[in-house]
Chain A
Amino acid sequence: MSGGEAAEAFVLEAADLLDQVERALLDLGRDLNDRAAIDEVFRGLHTIKGSGAMFGFAALAGFTHHCETAFDRVRKGKAPASVALVHAVLSACDHMRALVAHRDQPQTTEQSASGQALLAALDTAMAGSPDAAPAVVETAPTAPADDGTPTGWAIRFRLPPGAMANGTNPLALLQELRELGPCTVRLDRSELPPLDRFVPTECYLGWDVELAAAVSREQVEDVFLFILDTMELTLTPLGATAAAACPPSAEVSAPAAAPVAEEASAKPVVRTQESVRVQAERLDELMNRVGELVIAQSRLAQLAARGDHAEAVMLRAVSEDIDRLSSELRDTTMALRMMPMGNLFGRYRRLVFDLAQETGKAIALVTEGEATEVDKTVIDRLADPLVHLIRNSCDHGLETAAERVAAGKSATGQITVSAAQSGGEVIVTVADDGRGIDRAAVRAKAVAQGLIAEDAALDDGEVLQLIFHPGFSTAAQVTRLSGRGVGMDVVKKTVEGLRGTIRIESERGQGTRMKLHLPLTLAIVECMLVRVGAGRYAIPLSAVEECLQLPAHEAAGAGGRNFLDVRGELVPFLRMAEIFHSDRPAELHQKVVIVGSGQLRVGLVVDQIIGNAQTVIKPLSRFHAGVGAFSGATILGDGTVALILDVAQLLAAAPQPTRPPHDRALGEAA
């Protein structure tokens, strides 16, 4: 790895570490005695400093050193954690991000001044809490209530495979253990592979150490602080299980298993899942290749279906195998692109923390469904719209504490961000328990902006819908948080760009709920293939509601009325052959595919329904970006290209009958 690449890798690593530190700081802000959080902050800062210095981020290393020192004192109980300290280090994290981003530029005076100011704030935070009050932090670690202080420890440890490459030195670890007290060290070579499978850079050794010193569990664990998450470590108090603690070094795992499990449940060590960083483009490339494979496979299946001679039968068997493999491969590849929503939600804790500071409101963020997995692209593109929705909720939705108490609510406002999977879609909700949307204010604003006539008759859903109008902003004054008038319309566009929809539910005094309905993945879409004239087109199956035969009296066409009666409901229909200027005469028995989204429905008259297909969406080139109602193209089994219909655009183009009266208090944007 060249220096440049290593530095690039560090930039990514630092971003992760800073996220981790930030999370831990926010945890610590909630519970100042959270020992695990203190350790995590310290570990993160220490690594940033160390790696930063190694990869030439001198300013970063220098700055981080001060924060690390502060947390080292907290960790050792020499100073208590305080809210002021959490604030100071959170701000310092932002400065560190800037230092990482601007490594190549010399620090501006402004930057170094802000750095100095942050360090001064840090010093104040540390000084404000005299060393005389360490009791808060001290109690938990030094007096482990469960096992008392044992006379010694049987320590078994095994380093993670890559430990040596990462610069962990087992000798140094053993030396640190020796500093705690007299040690008997036994080497466990049981996992040493035969020479032909030996990888020189891996660490195959394990160690059994008997430490004869009355130290706490934390003191021992501190020795392994930086690798605790990935290593195997078993601590057994000496005396209790002295016999089991030193099994013969040849056979290891089985006899020691029981005490290990007990220890783990007594104090669970969170192990990070092993992961590999892959560039997103490579995943896209892989997805493309797999898409091609799926297409090639369907061609193979078509060929194999012909003929009855022995070879053809064998070919069919092979084709079926490949079919299974390629669809499994596709599922696996899709799974690679899936990321838990928690990745996204984590960022909003800091946002809400800052917003609470700025607005002076007490705000609690509740997140649900972090484990829900969504395509990476969806997550990336959703990040900013969700920021906007959360800001809106904090800024406009939630009342001040005094207003809330007066209204009989709890003083702390709650923002709930949740994700849940439902069939082929993911529903992401941003909800607040604030004042709800003031319809009268929305109306008045829209009239003032000239969006609607003063006497326009709008139902509740339509009033809420106005919020998505470009340039609409309900904020009476433009605040720093929200309300620059670019917002909800951008949110709506982004969601629609992801082939999703957004709904608003809002009740006066009770709060507002924004529900984003999004597809699970963007790469593959289930489609219905239809034929119009000579062309074949794909309609996303999620939009298809039903298929009917076009009644003979409608087929004649040319009537002024293009509405169908579907079980008593008027549904407008579009003759696709006319829209696509097909020069072939229409089929005798035309079909109608009814597509819809929410309350909008439209029938598409086609010549033939071919069947369903899984399609890999290919974007259209810039030559065709704005042409017709197409959202993309796909390659069919026979290798030809078919266009994918953009249902939202077709719906917008079709004349709609008057709304049915049972319209609920729902805004629908699709």
Chain B
Amino acid sequence: MSAPVQLTRVLSFDLGGEMFAIPADTVREILEVPPVTRVPGAPDFSNGLINVRGAVLPLADLRVPFAMAPRAHDEDTRVIVIEEQIGEQAESIGIVADRVTDVYEMDREAIDEAPPLGMRWRPEFIIGIGRKADRFVILPDMPRIFREYLDS
């Protein structure tokens, strides 16, 4: 479990009924879902490829690490293209969101560490839990999650 990082400005989105937030400075763009090419044999987490203006990017689904039921895309579904430093290299990846909600300043003082108990998710995938208007906001540790699926 890592300590809260420099998280001020975040992008929040809904996924599987929960609210997530990721640092806004890692977000490159937000797209409507482009045609997805399935990669046979790839793990469920990243079994698709998308064309983002001439670049072929992997499409990752956070539902897999957070053990959420699959859901068909609808008109609110978006792909958030983020760029994360994973190991030596920066990697651009698209992640699926049910709905992109907001960009806002998150009070770092209000971020709690993820409790080791009372959670159905793997604690190492979560940097912390914030709050927004009476809802919990999950701050996923994206580099950690990506590493998990790169190693396997």
**A105: Cβ under 8 A from any B Cβ:** no
- A622-B91, A624-B46, A641-B51 known; A630+B56 contact, CB < 8 A: no
Query: What chain B residues lie within 8 Å of A620 (beta carbons)?
Result: 49, 56
Q: Which of the residues B42, B60, B93 comes within 8 Å of A627, measured between beta carbons?
A: B42
**B114: Cβ under 8 A from any A Cβ:** no
| Contact segment of A225-233, A274-282, A287-295 | A287-295
Query: What chain B residues lie within 8 Å of A579 (beta carbons)?
Result: 40
In the complex, chain B residues 80-107 whose Cβ is within 8 Å of any chain A Cβ: 86, 89, 91, 93
Query: Contact: A641 with B56, CB < 8 Å?
Result: yes
A145-173: CB near B (< 8 Å → 1, else 0) gives 00000000000000000000000000000
Query: What chain B residues lie within 8 Å of A295 (beta carbons)?
Result: 54
**A628: Cβ under 8 A from any B Cβ:** yes
- A639-B51, A640-B51 known; A623+B37 contact, CB < 8 A: no
Query: Contact: B54 with A641, CB < 8 Å?
Result: no
Query: Contact: A643 with B55, CB < 8 Å?
Result: no
Query: What chain B residues lie within 8 Å of A581 (beta carbons)?
Result: 40-41
Query: What chain B residues lie within 8 Å of A292 (beta carbons)?
Result: 53-54
**B24: Cβ under 8 A from any A Cβ:** no
In the complex, chain B residues 22-70 whose Cβ is within 8 Å of any chain A Cβ: 34-35, 37-43, 46, 49-51, 53-58, 60
Query: What chain A residues lie within 8 Å of B58 (beta carbons)?
Result: 621, 623-624
Of A534, A633, A634, most buried by chain B (CB within 10 Å of CB) is A633
Query: Shortest Cβ distance from B7 into chain A, in angstroms?
Result: 25
Q: A291 — nearest CB in chain B belongs to which residue? A: B54
Interface size on B, residues (CB 8 A): 27
**B150: Cβ under 8 A from any A Cβ:** yes
- A580-B40, A627-B41, A628-B40 known; A633+B54 contact, CB < 8 A: no
Query: Contact: A630 with B54, CB < 8 Å?
Result: no
**B121: Cβ under 8 A from any A Cβ:** no
**A618: Cβ under 8 A from any B Cβ:** yes
Query: What chain B residues lie within 8 Å of A291 (beta carbons)?
Result: 54
Query: Shortest Cβ distance from A581 into chain B, in angstroms?
Result: 6
Query: What chain B residues lie within 8 Å of A623 (beta carbons)?
Result: 42, 46, 58, 60, 93, 146, 149-150
Query: Shortest Cβ distance from B60 into chain A, in angstroms?
Result: 7
Q: How far is the CA of A622 from the CA of B85 in the complex (A)?
A: 12
Of B37, B42, B50, B89, most buried by chain A (CB within 10 Å of CB) is B37
Q: How far is the CA of A620 from the CA of B40 in the complex (A)?
A: 13
A622-662: CB near B (< 8 Å → 1, else 0) gives 11100110100111000111110000000000000000000
Query: What chain A residues lie within 8 Å of B146 (beta carbons)?
Result: 623
Query: Contact: A621 with B42, CB < 8 Å?
Result: no
Query: Shortest Cβ distance from B53 into chain A, in angstroms?
Result: 8
Query: Contact: B38 with A535, CB < 8 Å?
Result: yes
Query: Contact: B37 with A640, CB < 8 Å?
Result: yes
Q: How far is the CA of A628 from the CA of B42 in the complex (A)?
A: 7
Q: Which of the residues B42, B50, B86, B89 comes within 8 Å of A624, measured between beta carbons?
A: B42
Please count the residue pairs between chain A and chain B whose beta carbons lie under 8 angstroms apart in the complex: 72
Query: What chain A residues lie within 8 Å of B41 (beta carbons)?
Result: 580-581, 627-628
Q: A289 — nearest CB in chain B belongs to which residue? A: B54
- A623-B58, A624-B39 known; A635+B150 contact, CB < 8 A: no
Query: What chain B residues lie within 8 Å of A624 (beta carbons)?
Result: 39, 42, 46, 49, 58
Query: Contact: B39 with A628, CB < 8 Å?
Result: yes
Q: How far is the CA of A130 from the CA of B131 in the complex (A)?
A: 90
Q: How far is the CA of A577 from the CA of B89 in the complex (A)?
A: 35
Query: Shortest Cβ distance from A535 into chain B, in angstroms?
Result: 6
Query: What chain A residues lie within 8 Å of B57 (beta carbons)?
Result: 621
Q: A621 — nearest CB in chain B belongs to which residue? A: B58
Q: How far is the CA of A628 from the CA of B37 in the complex (A)?
A: 14
In the complex, chain A residues 534-576 whose Cβ is within 8 Å of any chain B Cβ: 534-535
Q: Which of the residues B40, B50, B149 comes within 8 Å of A535, measured between beta carbons?
A: B40
Q: How far is the CA of A334 from the CA of B104 in the complex (A)?
A: 46
Of B35, B40, B58, most buried by chain A (CB within 10 Å of CB) is B40
Query: What chain A residues lie within 8 Å of B91 (beta carbons)?
Result: 621-622
Query: Shortest Cβ distance from B91 into chain A, in angstroms?
Result: 6
Query: Contact: A635 with B56, CB < 8 Å?
Result: yes
Q: How far is the CA of A581 from the CA of B41 in the complex (A)?
A: 8
Q: A534 — nearest CB in chain B belongs to which residue? A: B38
Q: Which of the residues B35, B43, B49 comes within 8 Å of A639, measured between beta carbons?
A: B35
Q: How far is the CA of A146 from the CA of B69 in the complex (A)?
A: 92
Q: How far is the CA of A627 from the CA of B47 in the complex (A)?
A: 10
Q: B146 — nearest CB in chain A belongs to which residue? A: A623
Q: B34 — nearest CB in chain A belongs to which residue? A: A639
Q: How far is the CA of A643 from the CA of B39 in the complex (A)?
A: 8
Q: Which of the residues B35, B39, B86 comes within 8 Å of A630, measured between beta carbons?
A: B39
Query: Shortest Cβ distance from B27 into chain A, in angstroms?
Result: 18
Q: How far is the CA of A295 from the CA of B42 in the complex (A)?
A: 26
Of A622, A633, A643, most buried by chain B (CB within 10 Å of CB) is A622
Q: How far is the CA of A292 from the CA of B89 in the complex (A)?
A: 24
Q: How far is the CA of A291 from the CA of B40 in the complex (A)?
A: 25
Q: How far is the CA of A292 from the CA of B46 in the complex (A)?
A: 24
Query: B residues engaging A (CB < 8 A)?
Result: 34-35, 37-43, 46, 49-51, 53-58, 60, 86, 89, 91, 93, 146, 149-150
Q: What are 22 A-B contacts defined by CB distance under 8 Å?
A: A288-B54, A295-B54, A620-B49, A620-B56, A621-B57, A621-B91, A622-B91, A623-B42, A623-B93, A624-B39, A624-B42, A624-B58, A627-B39, A628-B40, A628-B41, A633-B56, A635-B56, A640-B35, A641-B37, A641-B50, A643-B39, A643-B49
Ranked nearest first, the 4 interchain pairs of A and B with the lowest CB-CB distance are A580-B40, A628-B41, A292-B54, A641-B37
Q: What 7 new A-B contacts, CB under 8 Å, besides A291-B54, A295-B54, A621-B93?
A: A622-B89, A622-B150, A624-B39, A627-B41, A628-B40, A639-B51, A640-B51
